[in-house]
Chains A and B, each alone.
Chain A
């Protein structure tokens, strides 16, 4: 079946709005709804998902703006954008190192009954990994 034409969405980042637009098109008997959250497009073909989407939309739209009282500094702001790639690398390397240490920690734990993560140095490294120290909750990336 030929897909109906869906006009390209305006870039929500450029508009400065978190949620830009909902568009509706007929698709045979079903209505397809397309929305954008944070630059990602979502398709909805049933009403329940649409309701969830609208709830999220409303809750986000009703979020108040805290006063950004602190001047981040234009040079610092730009600098963070410039080094963003490097910092992703730092994060990824840290994560790999953490996994590697976790792997060896398990191996040593299996053989010695004592984990390397019990030792001070490794604990320090694991704390630098970008995860919660208790490991239960981690940022969704």
Chain B
């Protein structure tokens, strides 16, 4: 198909995102032309792009448009990887929230306003949050309240408050509530002292009360015409920004964060493993790598250091937080740490289950690193080796995988208090399962350990079909 609309782009009639010949495009409706022109001519667009708060675009051929009432077609700069708020660590969500408020303030300075404040409009590009929706702006009209206020509270303030004050895992509620965590639920999940803080009291508790109180009422004409001055709107932005900046979360030094310091490898083995991973990566033609079970990103950085766009997936939000802080500290541009539970990877959600893509739908990537992961899937989660091999085959062309045998301390720990029902968890069975989908190119035992590192390349579907036929 040469041109096709994006399944998530249907809410805003002012624009439509579509793919044309493999390139992401956005068509802008005629109804939006004055707002688009104001954005471009006022200097707001240039300022936001210069500040790294918004993706740049070029104007394309209007004939690419999918409908007749198109004013312009624009081609935004490509986003290396699309991620979602329920995959972000605390600091990533906080950075996205502050970027949204900064954009709102800049927009007001140029006589415009954000017409929405969705967390899905923000994507991480080269480690920094950027607005990707060019049609999120409209010309400001004095007196009208901010239409995106509720959305901002639900998409950013509520999850950040819950993560900071209750439990960092509660941003996973964003998977259930695609339009953000409802404020009444947020208020219920917060403890008493958190509710007494001024920003929480105003923007969550009283806001939630107001939603209940006025839910069944109609607005008077006077109220509908708007009574919120520009000063008030700026005060609102300032109050939200202050609230977000005060929210903090400090990861504890959990076992995973201390993983490399305490066990599994001595220094020599670790260095040898790094060299092997680097050498295996050089044998592939990778422009994108997913590191599954990345921990704090020690091996992800081998890939990103080679200029490869790398996504560091990890189930532990503390590790992802530490990893992201390191990305910021070192100003790393090729590494994106994200949270995912491999035993229950990110599902496709939203209308028709097609608004936000699943973990696997965003693949396949060039190379997957699965280091010290297999025993967590096969033993801790009882997944048969053949199904693990099939899963990886859908994700990549090359696979760098570490087999952890049963006599490894890591596996012994998993089997400490449970019966060993994993008769098939052996090197031979592992190789049999994986050679169903992959060809083993290299195999190397790691020094002072029984662990083996493999480099595999995926067998094409045609080759598999013909060999099965034969």
Q: Does A90 contact B (CB under 8 A)?
A: yes
Q: Which A residues have a C-beta under 8 Å from some C-beta of B?
A: 13-14, 16, 18, 38, 62-70, 72-92, 94, 124, 127-133, 137-141
For window 68-100 of B, CB contacts with A under 8 Å fall at: none
Q: Which of B14, B34, B223, B235 contacts A130 (CB 8 A)?
A: B235
Q: Is B413 an interface residue (CB 8 A)?
A: no
- Establish whether residues A81 and B223, one from each chain, have CB atoms under 8 Å apart when the complex forms: yes
Contacting A at CB under 8 A, from B228-243, are 228-239, 241-242
Does A80 lie within 8 Å of B219, measured CB to CB?
no
* CB-CB nearest 9 A-B residue pairs: A75-B211, A87-B235, A91-B235, A79-B210, A80-B145, A76-B150, A90-B235, A130-B234, A84-B232
- Give the contact stretch, choosing among B104-112, B163-171, B387-395, B415-423: B104-112
Contact partner, A14, options B142, B225, B234, Cβ 8 Å: B225
> B116 within 8 Å of A by Cβ?
yes
Contact A78 to B230, CB < 8 A, known contacts A69-B14, A132-B106 = no
Alpha-carbon distance between A84 and B231 when the two chains are bound, in angstroms:
9
Q: Measured between alpha carbons, how far is A73 from B218 in the docked complex, in Å?
A: 11
Give how many B residues have a beta carbon under 8 Å from the other chain's beta carbons: 66
What chain B residues lie within 8 Å of A68 (beta carbons)?
115, 147
Inter-subunit contact B228/A73 (CB<8 Å): no
Q: Which among B14, B214, B229 is the interface contact of A67 at CB below 8 angstroms?
A: B14
A65: chain B residues at CB < 8 Å are 31
A-B contact pairs, 23 of them (CB 8 A): A13-B143, A14-B221, A14-B225, A16-B225, A69-B12, A70-B11, A70-B116, A72-B150, A75-B210, A76-B150, A77-B219, A80-B236, A84-B232, A87-B231, A87-B232, A88-B229, A91-B232, A94-B235, A131-B109, A138-B109, A139-B109, A139-B234, A140-B230
Interface status of B52 (Cβ within 8 A of chain A): no
Across the interface, name the chain A residue whose C-beta is closest to B230.
Answer: A141
Residue of A nearest to B135 (CB): A66
Q: Which residue of A lies closest to B145 (CB)?
A: A80
Q: Which residues of B contact A (CB under 8 A)?
A: 11-14, 29-35, 51, 102, 105-106, 108-110, 115-116, 138-139, 141-143, 145-151, 153, 202, 206-207, 210-215, 217-219, 221-223, 225-239, 241-242, 245
- Contacts A66-B14, A72-B147, A80-B149 hold; do A132 and B109 have CB atoms under 8 A apart? yes
Which chain A residue lies CB-closest to B137?
A66
Chain A residues with Cβ under 8 A from B108's Cβ? 139
Contact between chains at B32 and A78 (CB < 8 Å): no
Complexed CA–CA distance, A80 and B14 (Å): 25
Partner of B139, one of A63, A85, A90, A91: A63
Contact B229 A84 (CB under 8 A): yes
Contact, CB under 8 Å: B142 / A70 = no
CB of B142 within 8 A of CB of A88, answer no
Q: Contact check: which of A64, A87, A139 meets B34 at CB < 8 Å?
A: A64
B230 contacts A13, C-beta separation under 8 Å = no
Tell me whether B219 and A88 are in contact (CB under 8 A): no
Q: Which residues of the partner chain A approach B242 to less than 8 Å between Cβ atoms?
A: 128
Contact A74 B245 (CB under 8 A): no
Q: Which residues of B are found within 8 Å of A66, using beta-carbon distances?
A: 14, 31-32, 35, 115, 138-139
Q: How far apart sit A92 and B229, CA to CA, in the bound complex (Å)? A: 13
